[in-house]
Amino acid sequence: MEEKDKLEKEEEVNNTETVENPKEEAQMASGDVSGGDNTSESEEDDEDKLAKENEELKDKYVRLYSEFENYRRRTAKERLDLIKTASEDVLKELLPVLDDFERAFKAEGDGAEDNKASEGSRLIYNKMVKILASKGLEPMDGLVGKEFDAEYHEAITQIPAPSEELKGKIVDVVEKGYTLGDKVVRYAKVVIGN
């Protein structure tokens, strides 16, 4: 008898667990235990939270992406600037050699052009100037008569202007200035008329 009672109890439990309505069975399988077609408030709150979290994550992603793009552009620009000015120290050290060549040519004057040594020196000078120009070194030429600009010129003295037009302007260039790209490698040492 006991076994019969046990079997009957098991059948009762099994009958209560089975769902007779297939719609209820589908809702139970999908996890929808609300019992109706409308979603519960807690599910709507969860959806809102997920939507907000999704928006926050998208915003973080966009910000991170834009920061990375800015970083990439900045490092590329710095790399290009470094490549352009990498030889700046060597070029600065060669500038006095150019100055010496120019002083030697002034000292020789125009009559010494027939001399073979002078001709060789001019060839070397011209070759050196071309090489430095190919590396981006540009001399500041034609400064006499222009306005003084502290970003490119260094005033070493002032003298009375030979004419009214040269007052406050560059009268003479003592040492030629050079630029490497947009950067000043050596400021031009100039005399200003007052």
Residue percentage of the chain with pLDDT more than 70: 77
| pLDDT, the chain, mean | 82
Neighbours of 170 (CB within 10 A): 21
Q: Per residue in 58-85, pLDDT tens?
A: 999 999 999 999 999 999 999 988 877 7
State yes or no: pLDDT of 118 exceeds 60. yes
Total-model pTM: 0.57
pLDDT score of 135 more than 90: no
pLDDT in tens, 38-48: 557 888 899 99
Query: Measured between alpha carbons, how far is 193 from 66 in angstroms, rounded to an integer?
Result: 53
Q: Is the per-residue pLDDT at 29 higher than 70?
A: no
Mapping DSSP to helix (H, G, I), strand (E, B) and coil, where does residue 115 land? coil
Phi (first) and psi of residue 95, to 5 degrees: -60, -40
pLDDT bracket for residue 3 (50, 70, 90): low
- Out of 3-7, 63-67, 145-149, 153-157, pick the least confident: 3-7
Nearest to 154 by CA among 179, 187, 178: 187
Tokens encoding 168: 């406050």
Separation of first and last alpha carbons in the chain: 131
Q: What is the pLDDT of residue 73?
A: 96
Q: Which has more pLDDT, 81 or 91?
A: 91
pLDDT, residue 116, reads: 78
Relative orientation angle of helices 88-108 and 116-134, to the nearest 10 degrees: 150
Longest dimension (CA), the chain: 141
Q: Which two tokens stand for residue 32?
A: 């929808």
